[in-house]
Amino acid sequence: MRSRCVVLVGLLFGLWAGSAHAQTRVVTGQVTDAVTDAPLEGVGVSVAGTTISARTRADGSFNIGVPVGEVRLLFRHIGYKRAVATLSGGVSTLNVSLEADVFKLDEVVVTGRATEISRRNLANAVATLSGEEVAQVAAQSIEHALQGKVAGADVYTNSGAPGGGAQVQLRGVSTISGANSPLYVVDGVIISNEAVSSNTNAVTRASAGSNASTQDGPVNRVVDLNPNDIESIEILKGASASAIYGSKAPNGVVIIQTKRGREGRPRVNVTQRFGFFDLSEKLGFRTFEDAAEVDAWGGAGTAAAVGFTPGQTFDHEQALAGRNALSYETQLSASGGSENTTYFASALWKNDEGIMQNTGFQKQSIRVNVDQQFSDRFRANISTNALHTLAQRGLTNNDNAGVSPYMVLAFTPNIVDLRQRPDGTFPDNPFERSNPLATIAQMKNDEDVWRFIGSLRLEFDAIQTGNHSLRLLAQGGVDFFEQKNDLFFPPDLQFEDDDGFPGTSLVTNSDNEFLNLNTSVIHTYIPAGGGTSFTSSAGVTYATRDLSSASIQNQGQVAGQESIAAGIKPTLNEVRRRSEDFGFYFQEEVLTLNERLLLTAGIRGDQTSRNSEDDKLFWYPKAAVSFRFPGGGGFLDEIKLRAAYGEVGNEPLFGQKFTPLTATANVEGIPGLLVQGNVGDPDLRPERQREIEGGVDATLLNGRATVEFTGYQKSVSDLLLTRQLAPSSGFALQIFNGGKLRVRGVEAALGIVPIQASNISWLLRTTFALSRSKVTQLDVPAFVPGNAGFGTGLGTFRIEEGKSVTQLVGNTGNGGPVGQLGDANPDFRMGITNDVAVGSFSLFVHADWQKGGDVVNLTELLYDAGANSEDFEADDGGSFRIANFGSSAVGTSLYIQDASFFKVREATIAWQLPQQLVSGIWGAIRTARLSLSGRNLFTFSGYRGMDPEVSNFGNQAVGRNIDVAPFPPSRSFWFSIDLGF
Amino acid sequence: MKAYRALPLLLGMLAVSGCKDLTVPDFNNPSIDELTGADASRVAVVTAAQGLFVRARTGIAARAGWVSNLGIIGRESFNFDAADPRFITELLRDPLDGGNGAFGGNFWVTPYRGFREADIVLNALDALETMPDAEKNGVRGIAKTFQALFLLQVILTHDDNGAVVTVAEDPTGEPEPIVDKATVYSTIESLLDAADADLGNAGASFASDLSFPSGFTGFDTPATFRQFNRALRARVDVYQGNFATALTSLGDSFLDDAAPFSLGVYYSYGTGSGDAVNSIFDPSGLIILANVAIRTAAQVQTDGVTPDQRFVDKLVSVPTATDQATLGLSSDLAFNLYNSADAAVPIIRNEELIILRAEANIGIGGAANLTAANADLNLIRSAAGLAPIDLAAMTPTEQVDALLYERRYSLLFEGGHRWIDMRRYGRLADLAADDQVAGLQLPALFPFPVGECDARVPPPSQGC
């Protein structure tokens, strides 16, 4: 241990360098927008070849002390191309205009834990989205706002349930059974994206036992964030970019910066949105022509028993999920500040009413970001965010108890009236164990989350001379949330007497706490003459992650009382996890040859309590190079070649290294100690991912077009695999490191401005990505990963050497062999975004296209099994499918279906009210905008289920795309007013 | 320069943080270290021994458990659960699939988990210093008896496929060999006999901190637990045709003509947190049904009207329910055996012992033995309201018919007796007579679970 500490000390002293001050003179001037001539506030002004910098004031003016003699001044501003001006020794005033940077060429991108570099030089394909792009249309979760916008980021929702549940998968699969979420970093703080199950499993019995299950449709908690607060999102897609995050970033990193205040008078913005959600896809029901058909379906006397009238049908889906209730969102923000203190404050109140009764999503957020400049050298940034969300998610997904609505409707034809009677009661469902309309109306499934995310960042410029700067940075952050799941199923629900204990009540209280501490030193050396800079950074991080979840389930709530204490058959569960880890990193960036060549090298060392040897360091190196060639005139402005390599890890999950006993089981209160099944591996360590990427970026047509092309290969070795032990040993499995997988892919992004005139502009952006994976080595027999299907008879994922990681297999015929029948991975994915502005009107349309990929449509199998699917009697329809299912050469393949889709994700049409009209109404109003927008407006898909974006098992590294009675999809429509004061 | 003051602070943070211990224990579960090696404590060993009672009843009264699944194969019961058609398709129509842990791959993982747990207890006892030898012998007797019971479950379901009879210390090494049926039975016998010997040296009572569930009431001293052990031995003897030994074992068991038929040892269930309920209890009346053949095959009592009293007591008429896999099965008969979520399930009881004695006597043959057997069967029959029979007047086949009839109704839906009996007497095919539709399968044994096959290179020659 001691030797490591000493190494670090030496490293830091190595950074130390002497310096001397130089004589200065003062230059003043103003910066304006090239098109509108409006003054630009907050533009960074710096002297090339030095670390001297300043910022423009609200009127665009600046003054900066520069060395005597000729200097080059650099002007940078978010959203604008940078400008360079050479100033001879005698000139002391300078006015500059900046052009809009629609393709973000001059944006700075965070490349280390504390360093950043201009996109122009970047060696990785890092995607960035501005807050404006994220907040175009009201979104419940940031993930929704990312869908289809980033090449190589596959963002899928798990179902249509209100309140999120979505997965961001960067560059395909990265693991089989390790952690599958990208790392979310908000204002420098690693936040939790934990998904704690609600435990609807207690009534659905989707998984055996009473433990919460991923089939509960859990919500991953990034949903809590307020998309309106976002200034920018940066996505590090693979190991070559995220290596500096070590074993925390196997699935990439999503870096979110929230808005901050700027010096100047207070600016207040108010956004009010009204809208509604609307069921966007139905499955339909079989049509029964006459009583004879009904009796043939349900047995003699069925038609009479349910009062069948030919032609009279009851649309259960509409009754269940046809609600269009008013939803709204109010966002207030204020920002401003004095020379030394700036602030941004915001508040959000959002209330989305779901398409089913008793479902919906509420979010409240308060954010205060304060930046304080204590002296020229010492700054502090404080970010605080208090959040509350309430998700009411109904009851969906797989079920073994006849309670999940779409599971029940599969066996309930539309000939029976399930609607509420005038006296308030619901009829029993004669064909199944529950009436879904009653279940949804009377049950409760509330997920209530209170959350605080806060961080403090201190920056101290220890040395700042003409050529050297040394910055010390200390940052601490905490993310704490408390989640309470309250579920209640009253005893008079039809299914509730099935087990002899009518009435079920559940409470789960979960606490999650992330703590991050991070100190860094950044040294920049800029040799005289300019065009070259050396940036060294080193630091230490310490982080803890705690989760504690206690749940009580009680059955036999006979009196109909919700209190958890009112039942007679209690079940208690608790899960606690804690991880502690250290990271050490060093990075060197060299920008030279007139800022054309970038060389980067870095290394991160990680140790974590999740490894069997918790004090062993694992090293993750990275290296990158990029070179910008100037265009030779003509249409090509500039072309950049880049290559990057990096490694990251994927830590074992908590508990995988232990050989546990079970102490919770008892018989009549007599406790027992039992073998649980896992045999801890004394050498369990992180998976290792090695990624190499290379690409070409070009700017064309005088900045009117950009093209980015990237190819990558990532190889993951030391996979966390499960070795099945012979069951006769009395143990079940051992988690060990072995096997390899590989993902290759290409990504492309094209941006073009076909029209750019003073009152009309059109910006078109497209993204394209495809990836292919392969299991290159598997040290265990082919296996079905956990939560990846229901056996080969029904179609399941299977990890098999030489095959795609996401292959779907099934029985290829009656008694025939198990073989590949599909692949969840799409052929390709493409995003198309149009921004059109005509005068004060603007139109934004964003579409998301997926070609290929397969889904196991078990919902259809259920409807077919119930002889109740809409096309049951059609040629090759439901009766054909169910008759051939598992008993002919067609086998399981009929239910493994193409998941191609084209979705119009977002559309907004907006009118910026004329200034004179606005100020005529009320002088205080600076700007006003009216807009109509919608999300998921149209879906074009040949998929026969409700939505090809589906995952019965929630977020999974591999096992998505299993469709079992999900929450139906919806579209939303919004009318918005934005006012600026 | 101010920087020089900040630097030591930063370095200090690095030094402190870089040398912190990162050890985090398992908060959720005790470690196996509490039972192995020098750290084993008395309380852990005793609790692990009690764990055998918990393990033994695991999977017995589950929906897809011992009683229910073997009941379906033995044509005693149905499970019409719409959510899982495999109760029909796999158990009655298609070949048993070792890949389905709850169906074809069942009755292997749980008993071997229990076998291992008993092994851990036995090893821990050897090293434990805080327990007197007599108490250790008591726990050993219990552990070995349960090991025998676990192996019996395995071999009854896997029969000629054989089974594993040993556990290696390192579970991650090569799997232990699969041995043939005869070797498994002889291992079961020696385990039962070793347990019997241990119990004989266990003093008058078990360790005072060792608790027994209610199903073992009356069998919670070394002397009475031995009677349970001998009862199991008698069952094993009869199954193997060792009828003379069986009579000896029965003599040492709790067999008692004068005691209630229900006297015996039971698996216990409860509704507390961490306990398990008896899931065969089905208040909906729509899922677990009885085969209607039980009604038609029931003999009539001496009044000429009432069916066999056992039928009257154990079954109840319900509205007709049908299978959802559309094989055309239906039933209007449900069981009246397990009427609450904590209803106990018999392991072995007096009524079975009486019939076992009859079977042993029939097996030995000869006038005296047949007379004894006749008395036992008529004891059972008179309790059921049926006319006495005369074995001496019957052919050997008729004697077996008579015996199997009593076993069928006395041990109805108590854990696969019907299926096991019909196989023992080579009459499995006769079960087809109880089917409502033709062509259903009649499996004689279970395959190994797929995990057991995969763990062995090459896989076993049969059972995979």
> What pLDDT digit, counting tens, does each position of B62-101 carry?
999 999 999 999 999 999 987 777 899 889 988 998 888 8
Q: Please state the rounded mean pLDDT for residues A519-527.
A: 90
Other beta carbons within 10 angstroms of residue A839's beta carbon come to 11
A667 to B276: CB separation less than 8 angstroms, yes or no? yes
Q: Quick one: what percent of chain B has pLDDT higher than 70? A: 95
pLDDT surpasses 50 at A246: yes
A728 to B276: CB separation less than 8 angstroms, yes or no? no
How would residue B325 be classed by pLDDT, with cut points 50, 70 and 90?
A: low
Q: Which of residues 1-30 of B touch A (CB under 8 A)?
A: 1-3, 6-7, 10-11, 13-15, 17-24, 26-30
Q: Quick one: what percent of chain A has pLDDT higher than 90? A: 62
The two structure tokens encoding residue B107: 């009755």
Q: List the single residue in B with minimal CA-CA distance to A610.
A: B24
Strands (E), A593-702: 597-608, 618-630, 636-650, 661-662, 666-667, 670-671, 674-675, 687-700
Other beta carbons within 10 angstroms of residue A70's beta carbon come to 12
Mutant choice from A728, A801, A861 vs B, greatest count of B C-beta within 10 A: A728
Please, which residues bridge with residue A897 across strands? A855
Q: Quick one: what percent of chain A has pLDDT higher than 70? A: 96
Name which residue leads in pLDDT, A124 or B78: B78
pLDDT surpasses 80 at A461: yes
Low-confidence winner among A125-129, A906-910, A965-969 (lowest mean pLDDT): A125-129
pLDDT surpasses 80 at A145: yes
Q: What is the pLDDT of residues A317-349, one digit of tens each?
A: 999 999 999 999 999 999 999 888 999 999 999
A581 CB neighbours in chain B (<8 A) are 22
pLDDT score at B96: 92
- Residue B211 contacts A, CB cutoff 8 Å: yes
**H or E segment and range at residue B371:** helix B367-383
A791 to B100: CB separation less than 8 angstroms, yes or no? yes
B51 CB neighbours in chain A (<8 A) are 665, 671-674
Nearest to B455 among A433, A608, A725 (CB): A725
How would residue B7 be classed by pLDDT, with cut points 50, 70 and 90?
A: low
Q: Which of residues 307-346 of B touch A (CB under 8 A)?
A: 322, 324, 340-341
B50 to A401: CB separation less than 8 angstroms, yes or no? no
pLDDT score at A919: 78
List of residues 6+ apart from A288 with CB closer than 8 A? A294, A297, A308, A310, A413, A415
A730 to B322: CB separation less than 8 angstroms, yes or no? no
pLDDT score at A653: 93
Q: What is the pLDDT of residues A185-236, one digit of tens each?
A: 999 899 999 999 998 988 888 886 556 678 888 899 999 999 999 999 999 9
Q: What is the pLDDT of residues B132-153, one digit of tens each?
A: 999 999 999 999 999 999 999 9
B22 to A726: CB separation less than 8 angstroms, yes or no? no
Q: Say which amino acid occupies B432.
A: A
Q: What is the pLDDT of residues B407-446, one digit of tens each?
A: 999 999 999 999 999 999 999 999 999 999 999 999 999 9
A400 to B276: CB separation less than 8 angstroms, yes or no? no
pLDDT score at B33: 84
Q: Which residue has the tokens 């989760």?
A: A547
B213 to A462: CB separation less than 8 angstroms, yes or no? no
Nearest to B83 among A400, A499, A521 (CB): A400
The two structure tokens encoding residue B208: 């005072």
B459 CB neighbours in chain A (<8 A) are none
pLDDT score at A12: 41
The whole-angstrom separation of Cα A403 and Cα A496 is 9
Q: What is the pLDDT of residues A575-614, one digit of tens each?
A: 999 999 999 999 999 998 888 999 999 999 999 999 999 9
Is the Cβ–Cβ distance between A497 and B283 less than 8 Å? yes
How would residue A15 be classed by pLDDT, with cut points 50, 70 and 90?
A: very low
Q: Please state the rounded mean pLDDT for residues B40-54.
A: 95
- Helical segments of B28-180, H only: 42-57, 66-73, 86-88, 109-127, 133-158
Q: Please state the rounded mean pLDDT for residues B363-384.
A: 96
B273 to A571: CB separation less than 8 angstroms, yes or no? yes
Q: What is the mean pLDDT of chain A?
A: 89
Is the Cβ–Cβ distance between B174 and B122 less than 8 Å? no
pLDDT score at A657: 93
B24 to A578: CB separation less than 8 angstroms, yes or no? yes
Is the Cβ–Cβ distance between A197 and A203 less than 8 Å? no
B213 to A608: CB separation less than 8 angstroms, yes or no? no
Question: What 3-state DSSP class applies to A321?
Answer: helix
pLDDT score at A886: 66
Q: What is the mean pLDDT of chain B?
A: 92
pLDDT score at A3: 37
The whole-angstrom separation of Cα A73 and Cα A27 is 10
Q: Quick one: what percent of chain B has pLDDT higher than 90? A: 78
- Residue B85 contacts A, CB cutoff 8 Å: yes
Q: What are phi and psi of A674, to 5 degrees?
A: -125, 155
B1 CB neighbours in chain A (<8 A) are 462-463
B34 to A582: CB separation less than 8 angstroms, yes or no? no
Name which residue leads in pLDDT, A467 or B96: B96
Other beta carbons within 10 angstroms of residue A161's beta carbon come to 28
pLDDT surpasses 70 at A814: no
B117 to A377: CB separation less than 8 angstroms, yes or no? no
- Residue B214 contacts A, CB cutoff 8 Å: yes
Sign of CA dihedral B309, B311, B315, B317: negative
pLDDT score at A17: 38
pLDDT surpasses 90 at A669: yes
Q: What is the pLDDT of residues A399-421, one digit of tens each?
A: 888 899 999 999 999 999 999 99
pLDDT surpasses 90 at A4: no
List of residues 6+ apart from B197 with CB closer than 8 A? none
pLDDT surpasses 80 at A466: no
Q: What is the pLDDT of residues B31-44, one digit of tens each?
A: 888 888 777 899 99
How would DSSP label each residue in A431-488?
TSS--HHHHHHH-EEEEEEEEEEEEEEEEEEEEE-SSEEEEEEEEEEEEEEEEEEEEE
Q: What is the pLDDT of residues B226-267, one digit of tens each?
A: 999 999 999 999 999 999 999 999 999 999 999 999 999 999
Is the Cβ–Cβ distance between B43 and B37 less than 8 Å? no
A668 to B116: CB separation less than 8 angstroms, yes or no? no
pLDDT score at B435: 95
How would residue B11 be classed by pLDDT, with cut points 50, 70 and 90?
A: low
pLDDT surpasses 50 at A736: yes
Q: Please state the rounded mean pLDDT for residues B98-122.
A: 94
How would DSSP label each residue in B283-331?
TTSSSEEE-THHHHHPPBPTTSSSB-HHHHHHEEEEEEEE-TT-S--EE
Residue B58 gets which letter from DSSP? T
Distance from the B57 Cα atom to the nearest Cα atom in chain A, whole angstroms: 9
How would DSSP label each residue in A194-250?
-B----THHHH--SSSSS--GGG-PPBGGGGS-GGGEEEEEEE-SHHHHGGGGGG-T
> Considering the entire predicted model, what is its pTM?
0.89
B271 to A674: CB separation less than 8 angstroms, yes or no? no
Sign of CA dihedral B91, B96, B97, B102: positive
Nearest to B18 among A5, A571, A725 (CB): A5
- Rounded to 10°, the helix B133-158/B222-240 angle is 30
pLDDT score at A641: 95
In terms of average pLDDT, the best of A91-100, A326-335, A557-566 is: A326-335
Q: Please state the rounded mean pLDDT for residues A755-762.
A: 86
Q: List the single residue in A with minimal CA-CA distance to B451.
A: A726
Distance from the B218 Cα atom to the nearest Cα atom in chain A, whole angstroms: 16
Q: List the single residue in A with minimal CA-CA distance to B7.
A: A472
pLDDT score at A377: 87
Nearest to B22 among A569, A608, A724 (CB): A608
Low-confidence winner among A295-299, A569-573, A825-829, A965-969 (lowest mean pLDDT): A295-299
B28 to A781: CB separation less than 8 angstroms, yes or no? no
Is the Cβ–Cβ distance between B233 and B189 less than 8 Å? yes
Is the Cβ–Cβ distance between A780 and A723 less than 8 Å? yes
Nearest to B172 among A1, A570, A679 (CB): A679
pLDDT surpasses 70 at A9: no
pLDDT surpasses 70 at B219: yes
Low-confidence winner among A780-784, A909-913, B191-195, B295-299 (lowest mean pLDDT): A780-784
